[in-house]
Amino acid sequence: MARSDRTRQRRLDRRSGYGAGYGCERLTIRDSRPWVCRQAHGRTLELAAGTGLNFPWYASDVELSAVDLDPERLAVAAARAQARGQTVHLGVADGRRLPFDDDTFDAVVCTLALCDVDDRSGTLAELHRVVRPGGSLLLLDHLEPRWRHGRPATLAERVGFTLVQRQRLWAGYFERVRLQKPG
């Protein structure tokens, strides 16, 4: 990779991950990227994938699609996948209107991104639409004032998911959860 590309990747990684560019994710979210990604199997959608910081953590049986609103970050994600020899179907899309049929995915992943999304309940309802019955929703998020209306796990339950596992880190500042679409 050219030096200018590496610089752009580091700049965008810093804006995407939780201190990814500084290597301090180990202190903040700890092992949450592998915790989330290793529970995904089969056809998997990553919503708001950013620069693809999660890509290294998926199991080899995962057939991965990844979308984001930002084409510049997706270009970094594409370079990351290519450098790893990993096939990822990438596309620009808004989480509120996903270009996929109902019940398409075995798992949907979203990390550190629902805080950026304006219509979180609408987005979670859209994730509920595209995941198959019995499929998983895997989330990692951090505390923010808007969560007084309900953290992502609670909002996801309101749109029809069932909570399977919920873990809090950093005295609850971070939360990682696995939910399931009943059926």
Ligand X SMILES: C[S@@+](CC[C@H](N)C(=O)[O-])C[C@H]1O[C@@H](n2cnc3c(N)ncnc32)[C@H](O)[C@@H]1O
Q: Which residues bind ligand X (CB under 6 A)?
A: 16-17, 48-50, 53, 68-70, 73, 94-96, 111-113, 116-117
Tell the residue number behind the tokens 């620009």, with chain if given.
92
CB closer to ligand X, 54 vs 179 = 54
CB closer to ligand X, 99 vs 183 = 99
Cα dihedral 108, 114, 116, 118 sign: positive
CB closer to ligand X, 73 vs 151 = 73
Output the CA–CA distances (angstroms, integers) from residue 160 to 59, 84, 122, 146, in the order listed. 27, 36, 12, 21
Strands 105-111 and 131-142 come out as parallel
Contacts of 159 (CB under 8 A, 6+ apart): 121, 124, 125, 128
CB closer to ligand X, 29 vs 179 = 29
Please, what is the end-to-end C-alpha distance for the chain in angstroms? 45
